[in-house]
Structure 1
Amino acid sequence: MDFNNIVGKYSKPDVEKNYIAEPIKLKKLQYGLQIIEWLLTKIENPVFIVNSKIATVNLQYLTLEKFKNKVVR
Structure 2
Amino acid sequence: MSKIKPGDWVEITPGTNKITIKVAKKIKPKGVVRAAAGILKEHPELVEEMLRIREEEDDRPGATLD
TM-score normalised according to structure 2 size: 0.35
* Structure with larger RCO (C-alpha < 8 A, sep 6+): 1
Higher Rg of the two aligned structures:
2
Greater strand percent: which structure?
A: 2
TM-score normalised according to structure 1 size: 0.33
